[in-house]
Chains A and B, each alone.
Chain A
C-alpha cells in the first residue's frame, strides 16, 4: 500500500465546473497536508496547506481534511482551462517524513 494515494486520472471537467481531487494516506498520525500544482515541464508550486480537520478556503480553492477517514481533498470552483495541470497531494507523517502522491492530472475543457 502506498503511503499517499491519488487517482491518476485524467480527470476532465468543463470550464466553470467544480473539480474534485482526492487523496488518501496510510499513516493515521500524519500532521500536515499539502496540495501542489505542477504544470507540464515545470516544478511543483504550493497552492494549499491544511493542518486541522475541516475545510480551508483560499479563493477558488478549498482543501478538506478528514483525519478519521484519512483523506484530504481539493475542490476547485469555477474551473478554468489554466487550472489544467497535475495536482500533487503531500503528507508529513508523524515521523516527520514528507511523502508525495503520484498526482492527478486535471484537464479543464473550454
Chain B
C-alpha cells in the first residue's frame, strides 16, 4: 500500500520551456503533498507543502511564480517549472501523506530528473 506515482521520470528540454510534473497517490487519499528538489550528493530540500484545495506553502527562497503547485484533488498534485533554465536542472521528488493524522509518514514518488539545455 501507500504507492505514489510520479511522472515523468526524466525530462530533457530547451531553456525557456515550462515543464509539468505530476504526482499521484494511487491507493490512498493524500491530504498533504510535498515537493522537494535534490542536487547530486546533497540533502533533500523542501520546496513547498500543499494541502488539497488550498494554496501551497512555499519555503523561504523558493519562487512561487517560478514553481507553480496545484493540489486540485486528494490524489493529484502538479509542479510546473515555468520558463526553465539550466540552473533549474535537478532531481525533483514529490511525497504524499494520507489520512487525518498529521503524524504519519511521507511516501515518496520515484522522482523526476530534469535537465535543461
A92/B111 contact (C-beta < 8 A), A98-B34, A100-B43 known: no
Contact present for B110 and A100 (CB under 8 Å): no
Give chain A residues whose Cβ lies under 8 Å from the Cβ of B34.
98
Give chain B residues whose Cβ lies under 8 Å from the Cβ of A90.
105-106
Whether A96 is near chain B, meaning CB under 8 Å from some CB there, is yes
Contact present for A43 and B107 (CB under 8 Å): no
Give chain B residues whose Cβ lies under 8 Å from the Cβ of A34.
105-106
Compute how far the CA of A98 lies from the CA of B95 in the bound complex, rounded to whole angstroms. Answer: 12
Contact present for B110 and A92 (CB under 8 Å): no
Whether B102 is near chain A, meaning CB under 8 Å from some CB there, is yes
Shortest beta-carbon distance from B55 to chain A in Å: 17
**Minimum CB distance partner of B45 in chain A:** A100
| Per-position binary interface string of chain B over residues 99-117, scored 1 when its CB falls under 8 Å from any chain A CB and 0 otherwise | 0001111111111000000
Contact present for A96 and B102 (CB under 8 Å): yes
A42/B102 contact (C-beta < 8 A), A98-B34, A102-B43 known: no
Whether B44 is near chain A, meaning CB under 8 Å from some CB there, is yes
Whether B93 is near chain A, meaning CB under 8 Å from some CB there, is yes
Q: Which residues 66-117 of B sit at the A interface, judged by CB distance below 8 A?
A: 91, 93, 95, 97, 102-111
Choice from A31, A51, A98 contacting B106 with Cβ under 8 Å: A98
Give the size category of B's interface with A. Answer: 10 to 19
Contact present for A92 and B102 (CB under 8 Å): yes
**Minimum CB distance partner of A31 in chain B:** B103
Compute how far the CA of A46 lies from the CA of B108 in the bound complex, rounded to whole angstroms. Answer: 8
Whether A71 is near chain B, meaning CB under 8 Å from some CB there, is no
Compute how far the CA of A102 lies from the CA of B46 in the bound complex, rounded to whole angstroms. Answer: 12
Give chain B residues whose Cβ lies under 8 Å from the Cβ of A98.
34, 46, 97, 106
**Minimum CB distance partner of B34 in chain A:** A98
B residues bordering A, Cβ < 8 Å? Answer: 6, 34, 43-44, 46, 91, 93, 95, 97, 102-111
A residues bordering B, Cβ < 8 Å? Answer: 31-32, 34, 36, 41-46, 49, 51, 88, 90, 92, 96, 98, 100, 102-103
A-B interface, 3 closest residue pairs, ranked by CB to CB distance from nearest: A43-B111, A96-B102, A102-B43
